Structure 1
Amino acid sequence: MPTHTPPHTPTHTRPRTPPDAPPDAPPSAPTQAPWQAHAQPDHREFDATLDVPYRASPGARRTISIYLSYPDQGRRHRASWQLELRTRKGAVLRRWHGAVTLGARPFTLQRDWDGRAAGAAPLTASGTYRLRLQARTGNTVITQEWPIALGIPPRLAMPAFRPLATGATHHVATMTPIPTGTILPSYTVYYGNLHSQTNHSDGGGDLAHCTGAQDPQSAALGPPDAYAYAQAHGLDFLMTSEHNHMYDGSDGTNPNADPRQATALYRQGLQDAIDYNAAHAGFLAIYGQEWGVIANGGHLNVFNSPELLGWERNASGQLLADTETPRSDYASLYSLMRARGWLGQFNHPAPDQFKVGATPLAYTADGDEVMVLCEVMNSSAFSHSADESESHRSNYEAVCDQLLEAGYHLAFSSDQDNHCANWGASYSNRSAVLVPGDAPLDNTSLLAALRARRVFATMDKQAQILLTANGHLMGERFANCGPLALSVRYAGAPGRTAADLTIIEGVPGRNGAVSELAHTADITFTPAPGEHFYYARLTQDDGKLLWTAPVWISQQSPSLLCAATN
């Protein structure tokens, strides 16, 4: 999950590392009835987040904060962490490390950093650097990486770009020239949040008291409240993605649950979205489900299923869903989704999740067909901020890269996973979709954009970023002969500029590591024969990041036929 540190939890500045201590042994499990076999509450996973100011105070000093938590019913877990200061090319300049024992309370570690490398050597080169955190407990490893600026980095030159129309302005989109000579079709950019909860599961807690997940179905605020709140706060769309295993009103399994009530609640949610859309022009309400559990699983959104999916049964053996989907069986779920024409998103992915057999982040052809998005960044799921000031944020780019390297064709999204009643307002991040300018924003056009991967992720709700490859828009797949011209175009909010840009290259199906290809907005080169993907990550002068969707290239071997087509 993204950061789950309750906002009101006291922090401890520069604590001493506790002495080594083995984790407490868990109590013996009682004998379980069949309906209890999979009754395991969610939101009890290890979490690690890095918070560091992008720019330093005078004297190059800044405070680095590391948040660690493992809310596992008070059981103690030993966790180690390592923090590295790296150059943009990955050279390690300084390293910190330590270990803590986590129990019922989150742990905050703070370090005052004076802007120096190892051995007290001053860093004299202005520019963009990176802080990389790796935290581990047992077999679980979490990696977080954020850029930082030292000195006054030179302003990054970006070509002039007239931004596309947006849903907020309701301007008519126009043909947008790209200096490479290509012409983008007419698109409108819509900004929203594709991941949140209401009182249909464990969300909807009012901001005056909300510090975490609610007891399922206990809060006052439901999907219509969420849509109204998001629309009032300037979003173009909101998905309420309710946990599929909480429709029995329980975080475990309710032996007395009535399956008719569970499925009726899901149908009510679908109707709530239909009714809201009929009464509120200019906004798209989306209702769906977040399928799976975190422990030995992984959460994913199913965007367009009319059926409630589940695996839990009551004491009478009745399925508490419309359609049975075995718990944590992702291969079977992908196959069902493909047969039904449903689309999905990997939510806050972790390296040990989404297993097929014993292989995490495993590729299947069905999964590649239906999974269209990977959450690359989330703000805190349990934030109660309503002014976009949330400072706890999680970065999942490294895991999304692993999924791309496995062979998945995924665009990046950036959501908020709101559990409190601040839908879309905890931070300024958004998922942005490109819809043809002559099409309205509705379920049909949004699903078409997701299927085409015409999506970018942004931490700035007013910014835009696009990637083209030989005239093909990000999200496309095509065969290429000869040179390939990649072009990145960016438009920021008033006063914002680009500070750093990286074009990333990978090989689908290789299951290896991506690499950095270039740091300029335009590059022309000839890829090696074979399969490739490319995407761009841009850092603004305020430290906020934007990610394009990838393009996928099948580079042809040089031949007379290739020469003739160029």
Structure 2
Amino acid sequence: MLAGAVFCTPALATMPLPDHQEFGVALQVPFTASATRPITLHFEYPGAAPGTPIAWEVDVLDASGQVRRHWQGSTTLARARDSLVRMNWDGRDAQHAALAPGYYTVRLRALAMDDTVVARIGSGLVSQALDLARARAPELIEQQRYDVMVGSVAKPAMPAFHALPMHRTATQASTTQAATMQSVSTTGGLPYTIYYGNLHSQTNHSDGGGVVSTCKDAQPPQSAPYGPADAYQYAMNEGLDFLMTSEHNHMYDGSTGTNSSANPTTAHNLFQSGLQAASTFNAAHANFLAIYGLEWGVISNGGHMNIFNTPSLLEWEYNSSNQLIGDIYTAKSDYASLYTLMHTNGWIGQFNHPASSGQFVVNGTNFGYTADGDAVMVLAEVLNSSAFSNNTTETETSRTSYETAFNTILERGYHVAPSSDQDNHCANWGASFTNRTGVLLPNGTALNLPDFLDALRARRVFATEDKTAQIVLTANGHVMGERFNNSGPLTLTVNYASSTGHTAQRVQVFEGVPGSNGTVSTLSQTATTTTTPSTGDHFYYAKITQDDGLRLWSAPVWVTEGSGGDTTPPTVSASESGSSGTVTLSASASDNVGVTRVEFYVDGALKATDTSSPYSTSLDSTTLADGSHSLVAKAYDAAGNVGTSSTVSFSVSNGSSGGDTTPPTVSAAESGSSGTVTLSASASDNVGVTRVEFYVDGTLKATDTSAPYSASLDSTTLANGSHSLVAKAYDAAGNVGSSSTVSFSVSNSTGGGSTELIGNGDFESGATVWTQTSGVITSSSNEAAHSGSWKAWLDGYGSSHTDYVRQSVTIPSGVSSATLSFYLHIDTAESGSTAYDTLKVQVITASGSYVTLATYSNANAASGYALHTISLAAYKGQTIQVNFYGVEDGSLQTSFVIDDVSVKTQ
């Protein structure tokens, strides 16, 4: 193809493309090379038409930024909307002279020449495209950078470091890993344990969960076979300590656009089922943390961000009946308002695969700073492996860096730590590469969501491409993630360890000034650096490149350097006026040097910040409940000293001027103790009741949106004994009324003195009580049930596949016997006596251990059902899960069909 060729590009819509249809690039270069070094350019543009041209250039830069070698060319997208360009570099400059030993940067710049781009830059001439874009629309150019080592460079001296222990799920850690971890001494070390995982992935609740053998892109929403429970199981088996399934908030209507016929209740229930899947998995696996949350926003003219702990579905789309397809309205691309909502509710988030420009815009500025945003955004991805990788051997070569954006976010004033995730859309959660996000939890802390979120809030996080390595930055005794005042010299120490024998080849320490909107610069390339910062605010973080080229990034430390040892805090007093409508918060503050800002806290929550006198802010009274509240003002000076006012009490009375603030009244009732239990409620409101929720023992069991409010419950889904019922009624203004607690009893005893512990054992109530991989419990006529119409059908795909169905039971300690029974039918296309496909009947203990009680395979295939019984007497006094686990190989189907499951005690 001629470098100066003119292309007539396929027409593309000028409106923003759907998520994951945008142009993406990745750069692959070996860190070291003895002679010729291959360079691979990855281009991917799912939203473009085949034949769309790509203009690209590659430069080799020295430490001063001077270009030492340059290549330029073009390619076109293949039918699969991707392209690879391979080239070789001999380690020489443009004059063919060998470069001196040292570190150099390989930089890729690329431009996809669709009609929109051509219209912006004014030409379709590929040879001129990048120069025109630099002059007219530089934000259109995608860029990737990777540092390489030329020749031999001495390794840095590293400080002695007591490596932090690394947590691993006991059933997945290899003997070698376990021995390595147990040999690590923590005497004299930092009091933390490292947990490695992936905080960015999708399942079939949005556009993920695709079958690995065929998955090459995002899936149509809610179409793939694998859901959150599958993801958690897969990630745990892969050796991860935690996985977040982050579902796209606008896909709960089953569409990448807006589904005008979507049912809000269906969307709400799907989101709640994800939260329940995580909760159920965590209850059964103490050594793994399942997290279910949202990936909010769109990439084009927006930016994706994860929200880790929202209990509600946040949405901007409405159906044709003008019903919000979610729980809480959040305006598309309005990041400032979203940050405020998150701060009000205590939710925290992560910037996902941030572009270097054009995303997370506030007041016209990308990554625009707000105090609320700074409070809630705790992480920013610095690297991802390919979102559409179907690699399952941790060898994915397409990886994208976001270091430029990470630095911009820090310079804007955000306090974020780096993360490294996989954004899995295929069913290979955590398996595409060895990159992980490392989180430090205090030693002895349980792996649970509250403590994990506290570690994220503390920014005790690092990003790594090597799951067996760790980096911890300390500064004058402070650990990465901390913010502190300093006076005089500051010693930064970059600590590193590898449990697989790797060493640090390069250390870089970076510094910048938060809020300066400047540039991040290199402070040093030594593991121990002593500096005396100038007066004011600074941040520092470290980066290590291992001998194999894999990289690690530490969380920053944020340091406020005093002026002449200023340790005098400002004095500040607070006042409030107004009780409804607009409430005015005011403060008077002074300092021996100068006040830099005043923060206003209501009931302990930061509401506003003012940086200039007179210090005041306005607050909508309807954001506060009627009654008494407290106001505290905090004043800061340039040295980081903080003065706090006395607490000022004030009252809010919204009345009619604040809109509807009257909650519904509601009472609850229950009837029945076995079989079908009926839950009912009577609810009324001064405006109108929108829905009633029924909670049994604190767990949401059903929702009814129209009177008379009632729900039916299978009594076998509850243990025998006493239970509690609470009904909650909601109105259109979001007010909530709760009923008094109603106590009731369940007695599921059967004849003959035996008690049935399994609920919905015949599956006739669908997936009620059971946890399953998607579609296992079915009424399909292709496999007959033993009785009724429903059964659990595992595998049968004729390709590599894993299914399970499980239920938790508690076996009383005083029973004389406990027996599991079930009917099993196996049919297969396999032949012979070799076990290619297997079904394991297992018990999952409360500690997360899997105990296999029986194994069946294709070799046991026979017509009709066979009854199987297994004693569970060994588990008296324990809460366990009965787990049916089917694994199918890559060819020839085997179907394992289970029905009429029972666990009876006497």
Flag whether TM exceeds 0.5 (same fold): yes
- Give the number of the structure whose alpha-carbon radius of gyration is greater: 2
Could you tell me how far apart the structure 1 residues matched to 2:515 and 2:69 are? Answer: 34
Query: Within 5 Å, which residues of 2 pair with 1:28-177?
Result: 41-56=18-33, 58=34, 60-74=35-49, 79-100=54-75, 105-123=81-99, 125-136=100-111, 138=117, 139-168=139-168, 169=178, 175=186, 177=188
Could you tell me how far apart the structure 2 residues matched to 1:300 and 1:149 are? Answer: 34
RMSD, matched Cα: 2.1
1:289 positional shift: 0.7
- The yes-or-no answer on 1:331 pairing with 2:331 is no
1:264 positional shift: 0.4
2:489 to 463, 476, 483: 483
Worse-matched range after superposition: 299-308 or 488-497: 488-497
Structure 2 equivalent of residue 451 of structure 1: 457
Assess if the C-alpha contact under 8 Å between 2:162 and 2:185 holds in 1.
Answer: no
The structure-2 alpha-carbon separation of the partners of 1:385 and 1:17, relative to structure 1 and needing over 3 Å to count, comes to: farther
1:107 positional shift: 2.4
* Paired letter, 1:552: W
- Secondary structure, aligned partner of 1:156: coil
Q: Which whole-Å deviations, capped at 9, do the CAs of 1:415-463 have from their partners, x for residues lacking one?
A: 0000001100100000000000021111011100000000000000010
The structure-2 alpha-carbon separation of the partners of 1:561 and 1:288, relative to structure 1 and needing over 3 Å to count, comes to: closer
1:310 positional shift: 0.8
Could you tell me how far apart the structure 2 residues matched to 1:270 and 1:512 are? Answer: 41
- Secondary structure, aligned partner of 1:196: coil
Could you tell me how far apart the structure 2 residues matched to 1:561 and 1:204 are? Answer: 55
1:175 positional shift: 4.7
1:23 positional shift: 4.1
Structure 2 equivalent of residue 289 of structure 1: 294
The structure-2 alpha-carbon separation of the partners of 1:112 and 1:73, relative to structure 1 and needing over 3 Å to count, comes to: closer
Query: Is there any run of 5+ residues in structure 1 with no aligned partner, and where?
Result: 1-14, 30-37, 178-182
Assess if the C-alpha contact under 8 Å between 2:165 and 2:186 holds in 1.
Answer: no
Could you tell me how far apart the structure 2 residues matched to 1:500 and 1:380 are? Answer: 25
1:41 positional shift: 2.5
- Secondary structure, aligned partner of 2:229: helix
Could you tell me how far apart the structure 2 residues matched to 1:98 and 1:445 are? Answer: 51
- The yes-or-no answer on 1:193 pairing with 2:198 is yes
* Paired letter, 1:303: F
Q: Which whole-Å deviations, capped at 9, do the CAs of 1:145-201 have from their partners, x for residues lacking one?
A: 112222233222212212111111575996554xxxxx63x1100000000000101
Worse-matched range after superposition: 154-163 or 337-346: 154-163
Assess if the C-alpha contact under 8 Å between 1:143 and 1:398 holds in 2.
Answer: no
Worse-matched range after superposition: 397-406 or 167-176: 167-176
Could you tell me how far apart the structure 2 residues matched to 1:171 and 1:344 are? Answer: 33
Assess if the C-alpha contact under 8 Å between 1:459 and 1:546 holds in 2.
Answer: yes
Assess if the C-alpha contact under 8 Å between 2:12 and 2:48 holds in 1.
Answer: no
Could you tell me how far apart the structure 1 residues matched to 2:11 and 2:333 are? Answer: 26
1:102 positional shift: 5.1
1:144 positional shift: 1.3
The structure-2 alpha-carbon separation of the partners of 1:118 and 1:432, relative to structure 1 and needing over 3 Å to count, comes to: same
1:278 positional shift: 0.3
1:79 positional shift: 4.5
* Paired letter, 1:425: A
Structure 2 equivalent of residue 32 of structure 1: none
Could you tell me how far apart the structure 2 residues matched to 1:561 and 1:161 are? Answer: 33
The structure-2 alpha-carbon separation of the partners of 1:337 and 1:171, relative to structure 1 and needing over 3 Å to count, comes to: farther
* Paired letter, 2:214: H
- Secondary structure, aligned partner of 1:398: helix
Structure 2 equivalent of residue 214 of structure 1: 219
1:134 positional shift: 2.5
The structure-2 alpha-carbon separation of the partners of 1:386 and 1:502, relative to structure 1 and needing over 3 Å to count, comes to: same
Structure 1 equivalent of residue 554 of structure 2: 548
Worse-matched range after superposition: 146-155 or 277-286: 146-155
1:417 to 415, 418, 423: 423
- The yes-or-no answer on 1:278 pairing with 2:283 is yes
Worse-matched range after superposition: 151-160 or 406-415: 151-160
1:469 positional shift: 0.8
Query: Within 5 Å, which residues of 2 pair with 1:295-334?
Result: 295-334=300-339
1:254 positional shift: 1.1
1:83 positional shift: 1.9
TM-score, normalising length from structure 1? 0.90
Structure 2 equivalent of residue 225 of structure 1: 230
1:86 positional shift: 2.0
- Secondary structure, aligned partner of 1:120: coil
Could you tell me how far apart the structure 1 residues matched to 2:147 and 2:566 are? Answer: 45
1:76 positional shift: 7.2
Query: Is there any run of 5+ residues in structure 2 with no aligned partner, and where?
Result: 118-138, 169-177, 569-906
Could you tell me how far apart the structure 1 residues matched to 2:462 and 2:14 are? Answer: 47
Could you tell me how far apart the structure 2 residues matched to 1:360 and 1:529 are? Answer: 28
- Secondary structure, aligned partner of 2:361: coil
Could you tell me how far apart the structure 1 residues matched to 2:239 and 2:417 are? Answer: 23
Could you tell me how far apart the structure 2 residues matched to 1:448 and 1:557 are? Answer: 32
The structure-2 alpha-carbon separation of the partners of 1:220 and 1:327, relative to structure 1 and needing over 3 Å to count, comes to: same
Assess if the C-alpha contact under 8 Å between 1:128 and 1:500 holds in 2.
Answer: no
- The yes-or-no answer on 1:256 pairing with 2:233 is no
Q: Which whole-Å deviations, capped at 9, do the CAs of 1:329-374 have from their partners, x for residues lacking one?
A: 1111111111110000000000211111322121111110100000
Assess if the C-alpha contact under 8 Å between 2:111 and 2:140 holds in 1.
Answer: yes
- Secondary structure, aligned partner of 1:118: coil
Assess if the C-alpha contact under 8 Å between 2:50 and 2:76 holds in 1.
Answer: no
Identity score, percent: 53
Assess if the C-alpha contact under 8 Å between 2:10 and 2:49 holds in 1.
Answer: no
Assess if the C-alpha contact under 8 Å between 1:376 and 1:397 holds in 2.
Answer: yes
Could you tell me how far apart the structure 1 residues matched to 2:242 and 2:145 are? Answer: 29
Could you tell me how far apart the structure 2 residues matched to 1:402 and 1:561 are? Answer: 31
The structure-2 alpha-carbon separation of the partners of 1:490 and 1:247, relative to structure 1 and needing over 3 Å to count, comes to: same
Assess if the C-alpha contact under 8 Å between 1:173 and 1:437 holds in 2.
Answer: no
Assess if the C-alpha contact under 8 Å between 1:17 and 1:100 holds in 2.
Answer: no
Worse-matched range after superposition: 301-310 or 90-99: 90-99
Q: Which whole-Å deviations, capped at 9, do the CAs of 1:242-299 have from their partners, x for residues lacking one?
A: 1111111111111111111011000000000000000112000000010011111110
1:507 positional shift: 0.6
Q: Which whole-Å deviations, capped at 9, do the CAs of 1:295-340 have from their partners, x for residues lacking one?
A: 1111000000000011111122211111010111111111111111
1:28 positional shift: 9.1
Q: Which whole-Å deviations, capped at 9, do the CAs of 1:85-108 have from their partners, x for residues lacking one?
A: 123453332222334555862222
- Secondary structure, aligned partner of 2:58: strand
Could you tell me how far apart the structure 1 residues matched to 2:254 and 2:277 are? Answer: 19
Worse-matched range after superposition: 382-391 or 126-135: 126-135
* Paired letter, 1:229: Y
Query: Within 5 Å, which residues of 2 pair with 1:530-545?
Result: 530-545=536-551
1:401 to 404, 407, 426: 407
Structure 2 equivalent of residue 34 of structure 1: none
- The yes-or-no answer on 1:20 pairing with 2:20 is no
The structure-2 alpha-carbon separation of the partners of 1:172 and 1:150, relative to structure 1 and needing over 3 Å to count, comes to: closer
Q: Which whole-Å deviations, capped at 9, do the CAs of 1:211-242 have from their partners, x for residues lacking one?
A: 11111111111001000000011000000001
The structure-2 alpha-carbon separation of the partners of 1:427 and 1:27, relative to structure 1 and needing over 3 Å to count, comes to: closer
Could you tell me how far apart the structure 1 residues matched to 2:95 and 2:291 are? Answer: 54
Structure 2 equivalent of residue 517 of structure 1: 523
Assess if the C-alpha contact under 8 Å between 1:71 and 1:103 holds in 2.
Answer: no
